């Protein structure tokens, strides 16, 4: 090859396929006789391949719930927070437990109904057990039964729960919603121990998060209601979660959803 | 193209936007916040997107501008603390990848923001120099010189990685 030296920019352009074919052929011929430059090109290519190895898995991940809900809401005209709850199929849980699960997109549909969009398959998580356990734990959670978080903070609480549950559980925070942690505990459940975290605001209004071991198909944040207890539940690969409180008005429910989303995000980080 | 089709075109690009945002910011929560903001902005401005132009670079440009604004806002708030020196708060990918490619990952962490941007846009997203220049709103020549320096810097950092292993951040 000729007199002109190959510049750094040209080596980069070769890597990125930015050269015209004639120049590319020239440089490739030149590289055959310049192993040091050839090695640099190989290194640059390896960098790009490494970036793909590091980050390509992200392409296969689900979009975050709220972003998916935003897109869905623009499509359907249903508010985003409602689309989020309704993003999952609407289905009815066994009447024995007295629980009604409903999509938020349909206001005041207090009666049980089976939606046309409901999957014919088994519900992805055992919602009935989750709801019963979570609501029972919520109602019967006096302070003296709880491990208080005062000493050692969230880390100590996480260790306490992990020791008794046999696996790590993240300790969520609801401080930004005005709820401080009252305590946590481990309770027996069908698939091994479950964890419960109890929070309260300055007026004593209680919110609790129930975490039980369960491997099931993913379900998005979904609303459920029984008598005067409201909850949002969801799951990940090996746990299901329910955030429970005693409200049944729209603003309270929306506040609970916001809190549920925050907890969901904290726990799925 | 109908609004609905445009929205689908936006949705189709979101995995790539997320990949870039997570790789760039090294914090999934912040990256997801940014992507969400991009979607909000893009849906508002959908009428401004011209059919036949590149939806991907349009969205990446929106993201770049939102990110730049956020960085400016924070750097004002932090008053001259260089943001790029802030330690990362999250590993970019799954556990195995983080271990297997930890040298590269650590080396990327040390790069300046502008070098990470150009490396990721060209090396990961596969954009042409012209597309990357459009997204970053700089001349093509600037993309080329940054890329050249970024790759050399990255190469050097990877080579030095083993020497620095003792002071690597602890997860």
Whether A3 is covered by a domain: the verdict is no
Closest of A230, A238, A194 to residue A214, by C-alpha? A238
DSSP state of B121: I
A176-204 mean pLDDT: 84
Domain boundary among A19, A42, A59: A59
Helix (H) or strand (E) holding B17: helix B3-25
CATH code for the domain of A236: 3.30.200.100
Contact B46, B38 (CB under 8 A): no
Q: Which residues of B touch A48 (CB under 8 A)?
A: 123-124
Domain count, chain A: 2
Residue A223 sits in the same domain as residue A112: yes
DSSP state of B138: S
Comparing alpha-carbon positions, the chain A residue that sits nearest to B38 is A67
Residue A55 sits in the same domain as residue A73: no
CB contact under 8 A, B119 and A47: yes
Closest of A225, A246, A242 to residue A109, by C-alpha? A225
Residue B84 sits in the same domain as residue B7: yes
Whether the predicted pLDDT of A268 surpasses 60? yes
Nearest CA to CA, how far is B17 from chain A (Å)?
9
Highest mean pLDDT among A181-185, B11-15, B81-85: B11-15
Which of B19, B29, B148 has the CB atom closest to A269's CB atom? B29
Domain count, chain B: 2
- ipTM for the predicted complex comes to 0.84
CB contact under 8 A, A59 and B19: yes
Distance (Å, whole) CA A194 – CA A186: 6
pLDDT at residue B101 in the model: 67
Whether A1 is covered by a domain: the verdict is no
Distance (Å, whole) CA A199 – CA A211: 14
Tens-digit pLDDT profile for residues A32-85: 999 999 999 999 999 999 999 999 999 988 888 888 878 877 766 655 545 444
CB contact under 8 A, A67 and B128: no
pLDDT at residue A252 in the model: 75
Comparing alpha-carbon positions, the chain A residue that sits nearest to B98 is A54
Residue B84 sits in the same domain as residue B1: yes
Question: What average pLDDT does the structure give for chain B?
Answer: 82
A230-254 mean pLDDT: 81
Tens-digit pLDDT profile for residues A6-25: 899 999 999 999 999 999 99
Q: Which pair of structure tokens corresponds to residue A248?
A: 């049944």
CATH code for the domain of B44: 1.10.1740.10
CATH code for the domain of B169: 1.10.10.10
Residue A12 sits in the same domain as residue A131: no
Domain that holds residue B126: 92-171
Residue A109 sits in the same domain as residue A201: yes
Nearest CA to CA, how far is B79 from chain A (Å)?
25
Residue A28 sits in the same domain as residue A70: no
Contact A104, A221 (CB under 8 A): no
Distance (Å, whole) CA A74 – CA A61: 22
Domain that holds residue A39: 8-59
Residue A31 sits in the same domain as residue A102: no
Residue B116 sits in the same domain as residue B157: yes
What's the full length of chain A, in residues? 269
Residue A126 sits in the same domain as residue A48: no
Comparing alpha-carbon positions, the chain A residue that sits nearest to B151 is A44
Domain boundary among B41, B58, B90: B90
The sheet with strand A222-226 has its strands ordered as: A100-101, A222-226, A229-235, A239-245, A206-213, A194-200, A180-187
Residue B22 sits in the same domain as residue B84: yes
Whether A197 is covered by a domain: the verdict is yes
Residue A142 sits in the same domain as residue A202: yes
Residue B105 sits in the same domain as residue B142: yes
Residue A71 sits in the same domain as residue A185: yes
Q: Which residues of A touch B142 (CB under 8 A)?
A: none
A121 compared with B150, residue with greater pLDDT: B150
pTM, full prediction: 0.55
Whether A2 is covered by a domain: the verdict is no
């Amino acid at each position: 090859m000729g007199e002109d030296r190959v510049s750094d920019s040209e080596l980069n352009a070769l890597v990125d396929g930015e050269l015209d074919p004639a120049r590319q052929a020239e440089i490739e011929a030149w590289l055959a006789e310049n192993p040091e430059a050839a090695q640099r090109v190989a290194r640059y290519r390896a960098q790009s391949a490494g970036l793909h190895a590091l980050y390509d898995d992200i392409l296969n991940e689900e979009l975050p719930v709220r972003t998916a809900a935003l897109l869905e809401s623009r499509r359907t005209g249903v508010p985003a927070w409602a689309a989020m709850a309704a993003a999952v199929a609407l289905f009815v849980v066994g009447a024995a437990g007295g629980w009604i699960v409903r999509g938020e997109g349909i206001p005041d549909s207090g009666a049980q109904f089976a939606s046309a969009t409901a999957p014919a398959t088994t519900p992805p998580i055992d919602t009935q057990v989750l709801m019963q356990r979570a609501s029972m734990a919520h109602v019967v959670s006096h302070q003296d039964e709880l491990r208080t978080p005062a000493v050692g903070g969230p880390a100590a609480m996480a260790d306490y729960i992990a020791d008794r549950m046999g696996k790590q559980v993240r300790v969520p925070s609801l401080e930004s919603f005005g709820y401080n942690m009252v305590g946590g505990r481990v309770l027996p459940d069908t698939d091994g121990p479950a964890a419960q975290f109890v929070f309260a605001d300055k007026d004593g209004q209680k919110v609790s998060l129930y975490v039980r071991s369960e491997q099931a198909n993913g379900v998005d944040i979904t609303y459920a209601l029984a008598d005067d207890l409201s909850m949002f539940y969801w799951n990940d690969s090996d746990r299901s979660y329910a955030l429970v409180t005693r409200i049944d008005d729209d603003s309270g429910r929306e506040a609970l959803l916001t809190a549920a989303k925050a907890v969901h995000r904290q726990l799925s980080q | 193209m109908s609004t609905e089709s445009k929205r689908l075109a936006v949705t189709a690009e979101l995995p790539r936007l997320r990949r870039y945002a997570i790789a760039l910011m090294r914090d999934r929560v912040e990256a997801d916040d940014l992507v969400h903001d991009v979607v909000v902005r893009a849906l508002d401005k959908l009428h401004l997107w011209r059919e036949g132009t590149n939806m991907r670079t349009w969205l990446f440009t929106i993201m770049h501008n939102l990110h730049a604004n956020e960085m400016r806002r924070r750097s004002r708030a932090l008053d001259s603390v260089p943001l790029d020196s802030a330690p990362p708060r999250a590993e970019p990918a799954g556990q195995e990848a983080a271990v297997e490619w930890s040298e590269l990952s650590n080396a990327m962490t040390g790069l300046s923001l502008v070098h990470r941007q150009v490396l990721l846009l060209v090396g990961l997203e596969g954009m042409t120099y012209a597309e990357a220049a459009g997204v970053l709103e700089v001349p093509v020549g600037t993309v080329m010189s940054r890329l050249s320096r970024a790759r050399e810097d990255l190469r050097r950092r990877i080579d030095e990685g083993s020497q620095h292993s003792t002071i690597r951040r602890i997860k």
